[in-house]
Chain A
Amino acid sequence: MSSILGFTLLFLSLLLCSYSILASFYANINGYKNLEKSSVNALFASCITIFISSFLLIFELINSNFELEYVSKYSSSFTPLIYKISAFWAGMEGSMLFWLFILSIYIFVLILSNKNDDYLPWVWPVLGIIQLFFIVLTTFFENPFRPALFIDEIGGGSGLNPLLQHPAMLIHPPMLYLGYIGFSVPFAYAVSAMIQKKTTSEWLLITKRWTLFSWLLLSVAIVLGGRWAYLELGWGGYWAWDPVENASFMPWLTGTAYLHSVLIEEKKNMLKFWNVLLIMLTFLLTIFGTYLTRSGIVSSVHAFAATDLGIWFFYFVIFILSSCVIILTIRKGQLKPSSRIKNIFSKESGFLFNNLIFISLLIVVLWGTMFPIINEAFSGDKITVGAAYFNKIVVPIGLCLLLLMGVAPLLAWKKTSIKQLLKNLRSPLIISLLTTFIFGFYLDNFISYTTISIFIIFLTLIIILREFLKGVRIISKKENLSFLKALYSLLNRNRPRYGGYIVHVGIIVMLIGFTGHAFNREVDLSFSMENSTQSIEEYQFIYKGHWIESIDTHPIERKNHVALVTELDIFEDNEFVGTLFPEKRIYIHQDNQQHAEVMLISSLLRDIYIILGSLDESGQATMKIRINPMVNFVWIGISILFLGGLLCLDFDSSVLRMVRRND
């Protein structure tokens, strides 16, 4: 019943969306205003039917309707409610419908915002084509409303993979999708601008909030994914250069470049070609990323089972790529800048190098991700490349990028006098070099990635701090305000600029976290019996005992699993730090799948990270213990970045109107 309903709804959206696209094309070419209105209405209706399909799927998931194959695969009677809902995006079919759902939300919002700009006539069909692709996928190939072949009578359902039963499952995929898919809107505007030859920077300004919003969510989603892996997967890291991780990182690279590059076009009407190129690349990479994740051509911790879906995504990617190349080639002449870069020591030049570095990073990551696949396609040999490849190249290039980020505030528009530059650099440089020297002395190694990172961290923070102090001092004097009031006023006056500085501070704080990674320690310990002690340098661990917990002893907490629990006392430098209970869970309703829970003692400067390996009948326990220095700076950094981003998002739209008038 619901199967038929679901299929009907999707088919209906297929008809509405197709009509919308065709009507748009016809209306735009012939200038029929009423037909254009009709096409927008059809697109709106298509979004509504997609919303209804999505709510239907959620409804069936909540009600454990195992007549639907998708529900029985990814949910069960035992699955907690919130995870029943998150099963919407847990599996292939649902995640495609979810893509459609998020895209439809964005289109819906855009329609309701009742904008009246010149780009919209071509924005609608572009968004429509993207929507159509996913409708076709979900209707004919990966339909979440497929009826189940046999219904699991007892208990019902395979249940959600225990690894996915974590609060992050509720946030990471939706946030990632919101970030990814959000870039469709500036992309559609760019294509519209190109088609209509309307290449003033107005389209950039209109879509600025969309870009910033998507970028911010994508950034947080990526790091959140890392945090989830850190807390759940048990290998103690947060980034493995896994192909699916890279699939989200690549659009982030070009998206960040785009975010910065548009600032130049706004102020100086330069880098226009770059901007169109970058947003096209970003959108292309989001589709390509979805293709990588869903097609099964890469093996990964995220991998869904291989499907035939891959080939359709491939065709779509080729379609978008060719269209973009054609558009760019034909309209190249429209993208000439008002002026050229005059001096290498200028903000303009800095942004240009920024683009260069991001593109370089993209090449490195793309190569490492795709070469194994291309190689296998041609030679049949399977190869893979580990984190070592990525780290060897990304680290030095990344440090160059961050150095540029650090000195960028000192660059002036058009031309920076060398004298002025050196004068401004003098104190930050001296302080940073001195601090780096001290660290180098303490670490017994003066020149390493660690010391270079430390240098960049201090240089950037001092320069940004100085920018804030300078601004506060001026306002404080001029308007006779206290320090705090002046600071508030400063932030309020130029939100994008100071929000941007805060975002950069967030990045630098994350760099502190990354730098600490080099000092990770990992040891496997074996405790032969109770009260045995093991130590790792300054840490001692006392194994206090073990027991079993199940639904009989803990009816609520242990509802769907049995737990083997151990108790461990931890001492650091002979001081008691805490007690952890490393446990291993056996999910009795899911083929006795085992999962060791990660146990942490966190402080600002380090995490003590423990996984229970095995526990045998004699009481012998093995544990994997990691000491991760500075890792919490990564999570603190992304939070700071998020706050800075919020400040940027809240920029004064009267500025927007003013700039638009001047264009």
Chain B
Amino acid sequence: MLRTKLIITFAAVISLVFLWSYTEFNQNEVPFLTVSDLQFNHNKFEYKKFRIGGQVEENSITFSKDGLTVFFSLFDGEGSINVEYKSAALPSLFEENANVLVEGKIKHKNQIIASNLMTKCASRYDEENIYKKEL
């Protein structure tokens, strides 16, 4: 008797946990987008957090007067978009032509406000590096 009740309780709890994981995941999901996604569908992504990867365009890095905000242009192989990132500390490998991953939200059609900036760890034998050289 108790055993049956326990089995039912367990099955119910596990199902609820799956359901909870599923819904919470969907609500917190961060999609990977491209520059074209953002430029043509920018209304769809307004207020939503997303990630975008690409290269820091040459000669595009500038700083605010107090040095706390960096501005640069991100090129993902197809298009470019401006990124604004406020943070005192930038990732170690951040420089022109670096492969970066930006996480943030859209400000206007052509501007991302980044909440997070990551650089990909490059090693000499990394395939991504080879891609970078070709670009």
Q: Which residues of A contact B (CB under 8 A)?
A: 73, 158, 161, 163, 234, 299, 301, 303, 305-306, 340-344, 349, 352, 356, 359-360, 363-364, 367-368, 371, 381-386, 388-389, 392-393, 397, 524-526, 528, 593-596, 611-614, 616, 620-624
Contact: B24 with A622, CB < 8 Å? no
Query: When the two chains form their complex, are residues A360 and B13 in contact, meaning their CB atoms are under 8 A apart?
Result: yes
Q: Is the CB of B125 within 8 A of A73?
A: yes
Given the complex, which residues of A lie within 8 Å of B14, measured CB to CB? 356, 359-360, 363
B90 contacts across to A, CB distance below 8 A: 613-614
A268 vs chain B, min Cβ distance (A): 15
Shortest CB–CB separation between residue B120 and chain A, in angstroms? 8
Q: Could you give, for residues 7-28 of chain B, a 1 whenever the CB lies within 8 Å of some chain A CB and a 0 otherwise?
A: 0001001100110111011011
Given contacts A342-B2, A382-B31, A385-B29, contact A305 B125 (CB under 8 A): yes
- Residues of A close to B134: CB separation below 8 A: none
A613 touches B25 (CB 8 A): no
Query: Would you give the shortest CB distance from A66 to chain B, in whole angstroms?
Result: 13
Contacting pair B92 A622 (CB below 8 A): no
28 contacts between A and B (CB under 8 A): A73-B123, A73-B124, A158-B123, A301-B121, A303-B121, A305-B125, A340-B3, A341-B3, A349-B6, A363-B14, A363-B18, A364-B20, A368-B25, A385-B29, A385-B30, A386-B28, A389-B24, A389-B28, A392-B24, A392-B28, A393-B21, A524-B86, A524-B87, A524-B88, A595-B92, A622-B67, A624-B87, A624-B89
Asked whether, in the complex, the Cβ of B17 is within 8 Å of the Cβ of A360, the reply is yes
Shortest Cβ distance from residue A250 to the other chain B in the assembled complex, whole angstroms: 14
Known contacts A342-B2, A367-B22, A393-B21: does B92 contact A596 (CB below 8 Å)? yes
Q: Does B78 contact A (CB under 8 A)?
A: no
Q: What residue of chain B has the Cβ atom nearest to residue A355's Cβ?
A: B10
Q: What chain B residues lie within 8 Å of A622 (beta carbons)?
A: 66-68, 88-89
| B51 touches A (CB below 8 Å) | yes
Residue of B whose beta carbon sits closest to that of A305: B126
Answer whether A385 and B25 are a contact pair too, CB < 8 Å, given A613-B87, A622-B67: yes
Asked whether, in the complex, the Cβ of A524 is within 8 Å of the Cβ of B123, the reply is: no
Known: A367-B21, A525-B88, A595-B92. A616 touches B125 (CB 8 A): no
Q: How far is the CB of B108 from chain A (nearest CB, A)?
A: 24
Once A360-B17, A593-B92 are accepted as A-B contacts, the answer to whether A382 and B32 lie under 8 Å apart by CB is yes
Known: A393-B24, A593-B92. A356 touches B10 (CB 8 A): yes
Between B30, B51, B88, B125, the greatest number of chain A beta carbons within 10 A of the residue's beta carbon is seen for: B88
Sorted from nearest, which 9 A-B pairs have the closest CB atoms?
A613-B88, A382-B32, A526-B66, A524-B88, A624-B88, A389-B28, A622-B88, A367-B21, A613-B89
User: Would you list which residues of chain B between 85 and 127 have a CB under 8 Å from chain A?
Assistant: 86-90, 92-93, 101, 120-121, 123-127
Q: How far is the CA of A305 from the CA of B123 in the complex (A)?
A: 8
Chain B nearest CB, measured from A566 CB (Å): 12
Contacts of A344 in B (CB 8 A): 2, 6
In whole angstroms, how far apart are the Cα atoms of A299 and B68 in the complex? 28
- Sample of 12 more A-B contacts, CB < 8 Å, known A356-B13, A364-B20, A381-B32: A306-B127, A344-B6, A349-B6, A356-B10, A384-B51, A385-B30, A524-B86, A613-B67, A613-B87, A613-B88, A620-B66, A624-B87
Across-interface contacts of B49 in A (CB, < 8 A): 386
Indicate if the CB atoms of B87 and A384 lie closer than 8 Å: no
Q: Judging by beta carbons under 8 Å apart, are A234 and B124 in contact?
A: no
Question: How long is the Cα–Cα vector from A525 to B28 in the complex, in angstroms?
Answer: 30
Q: Is the Cβ of A614 less than 8 Å from the Cβ of B13?
A: no
Nearest-CB residue, chain B, relative to A360: B17
Q: Which residues of A contact B68 (CB under 8 A)?
A: 524-526, 613, 622
Q: Specify which chain B residues have a CB less than 8 angstroms from the CB of A381 in the assembled complex.
A: 31-32
Q: Is the CB of B28 within 8 A of A596?
A: no
